[in-house]
Amino acid sequence: MKYRLFGIVFILFFLAWQTLDGLVEGDWGRLEGGLSNLVVFFEESMWPPNWKVLEARSYPVCEQDIEFFCSVGYLGMMETLKIAFVSTILGFVGAISLSSLAARNLMPLYISLPVRIFLSAVRSLPSLIWAILFVIVIGFGPLSGVLAMTFYTVGYLGKLQYEVFEGMPNDPLEAGRAMGLSRSSIVFNIVIPENSNHLLSQIMFMFEYNVRHGTVIGIVGAGGIGYYINTYLKFLQYDKVFALLILIFIVVVLIDLLSLAVRSFVNEEGDVRKPTWLNMLIQAQKRRSKSGDVA
């Protein structure tokens, strides 16, 4: 069994390699200079990161006591976070209404199938394309960003949610149905609480995803930190771009930690207090010293 799995992985890897070779048309020479180019680019243009992005902008004049609150990094990040927050919440509400209609175990096929097709259609356009569309329709600014991300969130989260709903145990649904609870009551009182852990995890993931993609959609003029990244890229100020990228990385890590804390309220890990490594080491030490006493 182990060898078979190894064989399958090897064959898949070989196929992937062959496909890549076909894609680059055997011209591997381009890779040779790539690494040295990267090193030069990094050393000369990106390093050290320019932390001026965390200082107050020269215009408009800063009226805050702390300069940081007037900086490009803070203002851009806050706008991205606001866009991501609003679109995640709006998208979540839209997605949960549609996903409960799309789940096969909750709705008959004639309702679930059209909703699934609608969700696929919404999802098939990446958030960047949604952003371009909304920038064309309603102009530059954060509203285009919010709408673009909301639409993408509905499509993406909707699929994740109905797949979770379809995978839930059947017995609470059957009990609810047999008791005579309405479909909406089953969704709100059984399906959503039973899947709260997954839903919270998904909403936090989507928020993090929207923060990361907020940088991309900003590039096409839909607001947020991406707008500043785009400006610095145009002026070849890669050291400032690098500083902003580090900022995004820190925020993404913080969101991940927040997600862990939020989910601990609903997942089963919170039920049993696991021993920490420190506790285990201390106890092992105690046991050793006790056995030493006996000896």
Partner 1 sequence: MSEDAILSLNSLVIGYDQPLVKPITLDVHEGEIIAILGPSGIGKTTLIRTIAGLVRPLDGDFDLRVKRSGGLGYIPQRLGLVRHATVAHNVSLGARLSVGWSRTMFKDRKERTFEAIRTLGIEEKASEPVRRLSGGQQRRVATARTLAQRPRLMLADEFLGELDQTNVDIVLSAVHELVEEGTAVIMVEHHEDNAKDFATRIWLIKDNHLHDYSLEEWLDIDESSWREQHLGEEE
Segment near partner 1 (CB under 8 A); pick from 123-131, 136-144, 189-197, 250-258 = 189-197
CB of 90 to partner 1, least distance (A): 25
- Binding residue (CB under 8 A) for partner 1 from 61, 178, 278, 294: 178
- Binding residue (CB under 8 A) for partner 1 from 5, 61, 179, 261: 179
CB of 109 to partner 1, least distance (A): 16
- Residue 253's alpha-carbon distances to 209, 216, 246, in angstroms, are 12, 18, 11
Print the binding letters for residues 196-215 with partner 1: x by CB under 8 A, - otherwise: xx------------------
- Binding residue (CB under 8 A) for partner 1 from 185, 279, 283, 285: 185
Q: Which is nearer to partner 1, 34 or 169 (CB)?
A: 169
- Binding residue (CB under 8 A) for partner 1 from 193, 256, 264, 275: 193
Q: Which is nearer to partner 1, 77 or 106 (CB)?
A: 106
Q: Where in 134-173 is the site for partner 1 (CB under 8 A)?
A: 169, 171-173
- Binding residue (CB under 8 A) for partner 1 from 268, 278, 289, 292: 268
Separation of alpha carbons 137 and 282, rounded Å:
64
If one asks whether residue 269 binds partner 1 (CB under 8 A), the answer comes out as no
